[in-house]
Structure 1
Amino acid sequence: MPPRRRLTAFDAFTKTVEDARVRTTAGGVVTIVAVVIIILLIVSEWSDYRRIVNRPELIVDKTRGERLNINLNITFPTIPCEILTLDVMDVSGEQQTEVTHGIIKTRLNEDGSVISTEQLDLHSTGDKGLDPGYCGPCYGAVPVGEEGTRCCNTCEDVRRAYQEVGWAFGDGHGVEQCERENYPKRLQEMAHEGCNIAGTLSVNKVVGNFHFAPGKSYSSPNTHLHDLNIYETSAVRHTFTHHIHHLSFGPHHHTVSNPLDGTVKETDERNFNYMYFVKVVSTRFERIGTLPLDTNQYSVTSHERAIRGGRDEDHPNTMHARGGIPGVFFSYDISPMKVINREERSKSFGSFLIGVCAVAGGVLAVASVIDRGVWEADKALNRKKAV
């Protein structure tokens, strides 16, 4: 048998002679309806193929040694920038006191309008025009065991010397260097101001906290202290009323909501403590056609309470607060789990082609059955009429 004949024997699609075909009006209607249905179903299959679904996955976070960026923008309407301090510390032992890098303080009028924007360190050098041999007194603030004469040529030098020995510094009245720099006058002029703090903190990705508290900070062997002298003795009643405009961990992603954004807390008490306990969860977004983005989501609970002021028995010259320090504290904990939000198409292209074939074949098969039924019914009616 010739090869062509052999292939013909396998033809499953036998052809009908054109002259043996009968075309009817009902068949034309069924065909048009079937084609419309096929088109609609194919469009539906295409839409389903193009649909993107988000498939969340929870895994153990195995990353180590990473840094975490904390983005913040917070306004304190009744505390001047000069006496507001931002500190960071974590369980690894790292401490960042009086943070300046990446953080901007904006001085605000009582009505909230901007006065100026400066780095955290607002102190003047104050040593210009001094005699080259000048050696200013430190007023007895010399650490135990330090040899020789220590010079404090600026108000900031005196403040740091007081800080090292654990003494409260105050507003600089009676200190030659501070009087020369007009530091007490500057503090008095700023007394009715507010402060906005905005920027980004870079911290270890471990359990830790960052807080806003009054006065310069320093650490003793067993505790973290703040010099609250100016805050406690000020004639103006400062409070930690605050407005959290924004607080997030890591890069921005449009689907991530930040629970603390827009939070407003108000108090009339000077010694008041706000605590926010934040649970940070690492999150990875894998979008089709873009690079993956690693960021973080968080949940938060809060607590607030009034505290009593007093003096530290171990540091009698340093004002502190019994039972806590007035301020706003954010304690963050890192979850050991990581959420992966992966975008995928609802079906593959192969599944789309299979769906198209199933739609075309299925609709044509059903249309053929309907057309055959209509044809047979029409013939039966014609036979009855002929009888």
Structure 2
Amino acid sequence: MPIFGLPAWWRKSGILLGAGLLALSAGSAAAQPVAPARARTYTREAHLMGSHFTFTAVSADDSLAWRAVRAGLRETQRIDRLCSYWDSTSQVVKINRMAGIRPVVVDQEVYDLIQRTLRISALSGGAFDITFASGDKIYQFDRQEHASLPDSAVVRRSVKRIGWQKVKLDPATHSVFLPEKGMRLNLAGILQGYGVRRAQELMKKMGITGGLINGSGDVYCWGHQPDGSAWRIAIGDPARPHTVSSWLTVSDLAVVTAGNYEQFFTVKGRYYGHIINPHTGYPATGLRSVTIICPDVELADALDDAVFVLGPVEGLALINRLKGINCTLITDEGQTLVSRGMQLNPYHSAAPAAANVPHPPKP
């Protein structure tokens, strides 16, 4: 059945956690009955998918909590090995090696994930495209000032092989075929969200009724903190690294942020981030940060890149068409925009959020 207005194929940056951790009661010796264990948080960090992950479980059972955290971590590792762009044994690498040669039979899980990405491509008009890896690498995101952008002819050639419509799926054999030599898939735009979702589902199935998983800005939190409060998530300020622009309180929701303020270069003082528009070959401009809030962290992970490519006007319009999904955007000019119905709490002196885009961004 449809979820939040989307088709049934979806079952599918800075983070601050609210306080409220409860201390364990000391209790007295034999004179008093033993008090039941009180819930607390159990957290483990790991480097996965080229990013920093944090797995947090809320539980009164030490053994259960640590088992669940380890299980979530192992599940994310499994998905990374299965779908990595860099691991020579991954099924994605096998697809890329056989580009222009023959289809590759993959696990149903991989087939279904690729199929969902193509539907997001259709939904976003190709703004999200896992064949972006087919493009030539013509930029260096070294945080330095560059003299100019590459020649326009070079840019046009760089995207010649990109095109999500070219990917051939065979449901009978669950095979994937890239028809042109040099074509490549890269699931980086959705894989962290998928890993977080699968890890959360596993931890919850094991009995963890509250927790938070953060895959380098791809956050899903469920249940409550030990004191019963919801989770507080802060959104970073691109203009001032390591500071907060706004925050919101959530439970059973994903909060996923993409930004161009870590991997970028500048030309005449203008920022050009690492998210490339697959249609033009140029870095997407107009936005510094995109945060998607929705019940599905995998879907949110894909939508943040799509909105980044579409820009503030079209990106906000896309989110406003999707029921149950919200976003907050920070433009190149530092203006905060929010989708219809989005409630955002400015942090201290941050400028209040605007409900609509007053005019298209300057070229």
TM-score, structure 2 length as denominator?
0.24
TM-score, structure 1 length as denominator?
0.23
RCO higher in 1 or 2 (8 Å CA, sep ≥ 6)? 1
> Which of the pair has more CA radius of gyration?
1
Larger relative strand fraction: 1
